[in-house]
Structure 1
Amino acid sequence: MSAPVIHKPLRIGPYESATPVVLAPMAGITNTGFRRLCREQGAGFYVCEMITSRGLVEENPTTLKMIEMDPDEHPRSMQLYGVDPTTIGLAVRMVRERDLADHVDLNFGCPVPKVTRRGGGAALPYKRRLFEAIVRAAVDNAGPIPVTVKMRIGIDDERQTYLDAARRAADAGVAAVALHARTAAQRYSGTADWSAIARLRDALPAEVAVLGNGDIFSAADALAMVAATGCDGVVVGRGCLGRPWLFGDLEAAFAGRDLPAPPNLGQVTAMMRRHAELLIQYMGDYKGIRDMRKHVAWYLKGFPVGGELRRELGMVESLDQLDELLAGLDPDIPFPADADGPRGRQGSPGKVVLPEHWLDDPDDLTVPAGAELEHSGG
């Protein structure tokens, strides 16, 4: 007798995943190598790093490198950032005409000051007509490609925009709305307000999928979010840093199977080795191994690894050196209980940096001067 399925598959346009999980686009993290590593663990939708619409339209070499996808990556999910409806429309049309992706997600959730000070990311839904114009430009130029949006609750507690923005996006024809249940002012601090995800699910038509994001650090967290909110799927960001096997846990949990045993240190170092190998494959020896450095602390969180060895791993310069350093670790050390929970950036709340007079008129359609970022990746 097969195990009971805990949740229905997630459908985005014509694409379906039996595991209702999306890898959040993270700047400097969700490159081709990392996406492949995560896909090897379990099913889901895996989204590339944020791509700027201007960088794509102008065929910026860095941007064009970042949108390279694995031949077996399906569906190919691309997140686009933009503040100008015309540029977004041109970028989405380019994606469609050149067959660059199968699914386009629009970024309205980034709280980083260099983005919000231009009116982008989490600042943009406050300008409700401009937001709607951007979403409509994307949908109108996408043809059969499904368009989704990701947003936050609002700029701050006094300026909550998510329900109005989500309704406008749904009316424009998006396939799904993802909500990071924090305000831009919270950044990554405090606790995500899952009740906002539940209110969003109640506010939208059933055919528009609602995805919940925020504080999913384990499979149990994902099941709890779905149970508490009724959302159609979950978006995982910081929770998978140094823990790509989380996607295997999620696949098992949503299928009603027992979770795999937590990895011991030997299995973790094997995953680190695989990660480094993939980064080198896609980025080259020099860039790949240096990109791996930032992941070391996340992988080794909670394990009794000495400070000097951690420092050496954080400065590793070749795959051979990585092998040599990892060989000195005891593979039988069990996964530490205190390694669960929050990881990655948390920081503290703060005032959101906005363009001058941004809050004066929410119906203003003016695109801020210099709003479009040239370089992709956040």
Structure 2
Amino acid sequence: MTAVPASLTLGSLRVDTPVVLAPMAGITNAAYRRLCAEQGAGLYVSEMITSRGLVEGDEVTRKMLVFDELETVRSVQLYGTDPVYIGKAVEILCADHGVAHVDLNFGCPVPKVTRKGGGGALPWKRGLLGEILTAAVAAAAPYDVPVTMKTRKGLDDDHLTYLDAGRIAEETGVAAIALHGRTVQQAYSGQADWDAIAALVEHVDIPVLGNGDIWEAADALRMVEQTGAAGVVVGRGCLGRPWLFRDLAAAFHGDDVATLPTLGEVRTMMRRHAELLSAHMGEERGCKEFRKHVSWYLKGFGAGGDLRHRLALVDSLATLDDLLVGLDGDEPFPVRELGTPRGRQGSPRARVALPEGWLDDTDGRGAHLREDADETTGG
């Protein structure tokens, strides 16, 4: 068993707890990052933005690049397939937006991303991956900003890329690599392969962050003990449970904490979340954004279907307050939900959507891939 780390070092950046909030499209906006940070220490990464969108001044991209006033460490995940755009985008983030950490997305399994050669498909092209990482690290270097990358095991079990990706990351000066222990073909189905994370730890000298199937703080400790990972990346496990970061912070500092909030305490958290969304986006849009979180917050509780339905249509904070009163504040947390998957799961894909001829070679240097400026899918 490996000793449990108490902190995480990424180049010049020190994170007090070795926990990273995974970028999730439509979820990890400034309001949600603030909500999680109020619970415990960690590195809270933005929703993924596109390099081309940033460089070309795309309005959608610009609106996503928003930070909370108390967000002292600005962390952004960047998507791209072109080394030139990536380099320019990293420079803009560092010079104009005060970003202290840039993460590159090479793990997204969504077909509209992989069919363009982006996300989880890109590491198949080892040469292109090296060019992109080199450009990003060079652009960030004058600002002493660490660059990390997130990837998956590979396209499928017959086309694994993670060990080569780790080697290339280390050679190009990347500060750390996060590995989601699933292939692109698996998407979010099945179980994450923690043995692959352990293999990558043995393969490289830079920090490896483990991602996949961390539903409770105990899972995070077990992952680092079994794999030797320097820290963990938490995504779906915190949906409707931002207090998980409180448990994680406690666990990595030697305290055994498992927060089991009553429905009344969850109700307070729901109100705080909607309040932060409204402060950042305006009340109407903030309440609409909040709707998607209702089912996650109430997962396993006995709240009636009609009340859940009305909460999922909330359009103002006043309406939300009226509806929240209808929840039984004394109802205990449904412990049967502990350790169970949250968020999207689905089934493995029949095949991975790729550009024509993508598998013909593993280099890809100088490739001209299509990257849409309005692409906002998270990984």
TM-score by length of 1: 0.96
Q: What are the superposed Cα offsets for residues 318-342 of structure 1, whole Å, 9 maximum, x if unpaired?
A: 1111111110111110000122210
Corresponding position of 2:107:
109
5 Å-filtered alignment, 1:246-265, equals 246-265=244-263
1:62 offset after TM fit, Å? 1.8
CA contact (8 A) 2:186 2:348 kept: yes
Corresponding position of 1:51:
49
In 2, Cα distance between equivalents of 1:258 and 1:119: 43
1:178 offset after TM fit, Å? 0.2
In 1, Cα distance between equivalents of 2:145 and 2:24: 22
Number of residue pairs the alignment of both structures matches: 372
1:377 offset after TM fit, Å? 4.6
In 2, Cα distance between equivalents of 1:239 and 1:374: 28
Corresponding position of 1:295:
293
5 Å-filtered alignment, 1:317-336, equals 317-336=315-334
In 2, Cα distance between equivalents of 1:366 and 1:62: 28
SS of equivalent residue, structure 1 residue 342: coil
Corresponding position of 2:312:
314
1:369 offset after TM fit, Å? 4.2
In 2, Cα distance between equivalents of 1:39 and 1:8: 17
**Structure 1 residues not aligned, in runs of 5+:** none
Corresponding position of 2:225:
227
Corresponding position of 1:168:
168
Aligned amino acid, residue 112 of structure 2: K
1:261 offset after TM fit, Å? 3.8
Change in Cα spacing, 1:286 to 1:377, as seen in structure 2 (3 Å) is: farther
Corresponding position of 1:191:
191
In 2, Cα distance between equivalents of 1:134 and 1:369: 13
**Structure 2 residues not aligned, in runs of 5+:** none
1:34 offset after TM fit, Å? 0.2
CA contact (8 A) 1:15 1:75 kept: no
In 1, Cα distance between equivalents of 2:260 and 2:334: 9
Corresponding position of 2:341:
342
In 2, Cα distance between equivalents of 1:194 and 1:344: 20
In 2, Cα distance between equivalents of 1:126 and 1:306: 48
Identity of aligned residues (%): 59
Corresponding position of 2:236:
238
TM-score by length of 2: 0.96
Q: What are the superposed Cα offsets for residues 313-365 of structure 1, whole Å, 9 maximum, x if unpaired?
A: 11111111111111011111000012221010000001110001111111132
Aligned amino acid, residue 330 of structure 1: D
5 Å-filtered alignment, 1:1-378, equals 6-143=4-141, 144-205=144-205, 208-340=206-338, 341-350=340-349, 351-378=351-378
In 2, Cα distance between equivalents of 1:363 and 1:372: 22
Q: What are the superposed Cα offsets for residues 28-81 of structure 1, whole Å, 9 maximum, x if unpaired?
A: 000000000000000000000001001100111221121111232132100000
CA contact (8 A) 2:167 2:203 kept: yes
Which moves more between the two structures, 117-126 or 86-95? 86-95
1:99 offset after TM fit, Å? 3.6
Aligned amino acid, residue 314 of structure 1: A
Which moves more between the two structures, 364-373 or 27-36? 364-373
In 2, Cα distance between equivalents of 1:269 and 1:116: 39
CA contact (8 A) 2:52 2:85 kept: yes
Which moves more between the two structures, 92-101 or 46-55? 92-101
Aligned amino acid, residue 172 of structure 2: A
In 2, Cα distance between equivalents of 1:353 and 1:373: 20
1:372 offset after TM fit, Å? 4.1
Aligned amino acid, residue 62 of structure 2: L
Q: What are the superposed Cα offsets for residues 69-128 of structure 1, whole Å, 9 maximum, x if unpaired?
A: 123213210000000011101111112221441100000000000100100000000000
SS of equivalent residue, structure 1 residue 365: coil
SS of equivalent residue, structure 1 residue 156: coil
Which moves more between the two structures, 136-145 or 231-240? 136-145
In 2, Cα distance between equivalents of 1:32 and 1:365: 35
In 1, Cα distance between equivalents of 2:4 and 2:332: 29
Aligned amino acid, residue 330 of structure 2: D
In 1, Cα distance between equivalents of 2:57 and 2:364: 30
Aligned amino acid, residue 155 of structure 1: L
